[in-house]
Every structure is written in C-alpha cells, then in structure tokens.
A and B are shown apart, each in its own frame.
Chain A
Amino acid sequence: ETGVTQTPRHLVMGMTNKKSLKCEQHLGHNAMYWYKQSAKKPLELMFVYSLEERVENNSVPSRFSPECPNSSHLFLHLHTLQPEDSALYLCASSPSVARAYNEQFFGPGTRLTVL
C-alpha cells in the first residue's frame, strides 16, 4: 500500500461512452499527477496539479479531462476515446512539485480497454 488508491482497477468502455477514473491520496501531499503507461513505452506524464491548480498539461487530447476538487482527490474524465487510448492509467502524488527531493507515490493504476 502506497497511500494512493485508484478506482476502478479495470475498465472496459466503448468509444461513445463517458466514464471517470478516480484517485485519492491519504498522504497529505500537495501535488498529484496522471500518467499513461503503454506497453514498451515510457511513462507519459499527462497532467499535474499543485494545490488543486493545474500546472502542466502535456498536449493531451481534449477527450481526457482532469479535475482536482481538493488536494486529496483527482479525477480523469473520459469521453469518445479511441482504441489507442487503451493503457494503464497511473495516478501519483508527491509532497510538492517544487522540492528538490520529490519522491512520487503511485497508485495501482486503472487498466483501461477501449473497444
């Protein structure tokens, strides 16, 4: 247990569905992240929030929409996804985005399959 939980763990959706991924951290951290992990590819940073404010958006398509209502919760809203969006979506948190030593704590991920 890393102190970061994600739900659901597995999700299968059609291209016309709308779904949301949820992440919660119990570590008192100020920064939260969404990553995409595809086979044979590096972890891709999607979004970063610091104290509920989005600080990075790495050219992610608008069919992915993040939401951070407070520093403990992070959502990723999905709509009209493509099959190539199938991947493991990882949430992470860290004490801050601006500290020199900034270990990230990852959740177990949501395995997403788009049909």
Chain B
Amino acid sequence: GQNIDQPTEMTATEGAIVQINCTYQTSGFNGLFWYQQHAGEAPTFLSYNVLDGLEEKGRFSSFLSRSKGYSYLLLKELQMKDSASYLCAVRDQAGGSYIPTFGRGTSLIVHP
C-alpha cells in the first residue's frame, strides 16, 4: 500500500505564497490528486497529476516528481478563504485498484 506523508499544519500570511508538500511510496503509481476541504464541508477537487511537471490552474499549481515520490501544491496570492485542509491522494495500480488512498491532510491557516 501507499505511505503518504504531509505536514499536519501550516500557517501563512494573506497575499503570500505557500507550498504544501506530499511524499508517497508506491509500487505502481498511477496518479496523484489534491483536494481542498473547508471545515464542515465536503472535499473538493483541486488538481490531478500523473506525469512529471507543473500543472497550473489560476492561483493554484501542483507539481509532481515520480522518481522522487514527491508532489507539492502551490498557492499564490493567499486569501483568507484559502484557510482549509488540503488532502493529497495517491493511486497505486499495484493492488489492481484505481481508487486513491488519502493522506492525513494539511491544515492551512491564513492570517491577515
């Protein structure tokens, strides 16, 4: 199975840039997802990476290095509403399943 590691909590200032890292170990990597979850709400999809490199989507970007088992989510021009938990999820095809496994999530606190 996967071993997914993310920092538990991060803080940042409004307007700044923050990078949330995710490392993983798989034997049959087949995609990595990032989700955002505000307190008391459903997780919502942010990004998907399956090839190495950077995927940019507005203020959010996600990077993947398959050889290093590493991804990060980059949030620019932080806003107070970005305070949320960010979940990294990895799909490992080795078990014959396309269903991703989730990390514990990183709680991001944005302060003025």
Contacts and interface: CB of A to CB of B under 8 A. Distances in A.
A12 interface: no
Given A100-B31, A105-B45, A42 B98 contact: no
Given A48-B99, A97-B99, A100-B31, A41 B42 contact: no
Contacts of A2: 42, 44
Given A41-B104, A42-B105, A45-B99, A106 B30 contact: no
B104 A42 contact: yes
Interface string B98-110: 1111111100000
A72 to B, nearest CB: 17
Interface residues of A, number: 24
A30 interface: no
Given A43-B87, A108-B41, A100 B33 contact: no
A100 B30 CA distance: 8
A56 interface: yes
B104 A40 contact: yes
Contacts of B30: 100
A82 interface: no
Interface of B: 4, 8, 30-31, 33, 35, 40-45, 48, 50, 87, 89, 91, 97-105
Given A42-B102, A103-B45, 20 more contacts: A41-B104, A42-B101, A42-B104, A42-B105, A43-B87, A48-B99, A90-B43, A97-B98, A98-B98, A100-B30, A100-B98, A102-B99, A103-B33, A103-B48, A104-B100, A106-B42, A107-B42, A108-B40, A108-B41, A108-B42
